[in-house]
Amino acid sequence: MSLVLVGGHDKMENAYKGIGLKYGQQIKVFTQLPAKFDKVIGYPDGIILFTNTVSHKMVHIAIKEAKKKNIPLVRCHNSSGNSLEGVLKQLKKEWAY
């Protein structure tokens, strides 16, 4: 399973990926707006938005791509490792993989 994480702290990027691996998820992390962000997102199984630490432009692009490609989207206000774990636990229950 693959997820895209939009937002968060630059220094936490490796921690986010490690937490994802702990739950069997490969996470692609975008803390800054890359060129052609809509193309870089790709077709993940889900998108997680850390709304507190992300630009409005990134949020709008992520939401637009999620709707266009029918990708589940989860919003989380906090961008801590514990918040990511909580989201992954919730997804694990919902997706039952």
pLDDT in tens, 11-27: 999 999 999 999 999 99
Structural domain spans, the chain: 2-95
CATH topology of domain 2-95: Rossmann fold (3.40.50)
Q: What is the pLDDT of residues 26-82, one digit of tens each?
A: 999 999 999 999 999 999 999 999 999 899 999 999 999 999 999 999 999 998 999
- 29 forms bridges with which residues in the sheet? 5
* CA-angle at 83, arms to 55 and 19, nearest 5°: 100
Q: Would you state the structure tokens that stand for residue 36, as one six-digit string?
A: 């052609």
Question: 49 CB contacts (<8 Å, ≥6 apart)?
Answer: 6, 7, 59, 62, 63, 73, 74, 75, 76
pTM of this structure: 0.91
Distance linking the first and last C-alpha atoms of the chain: 9
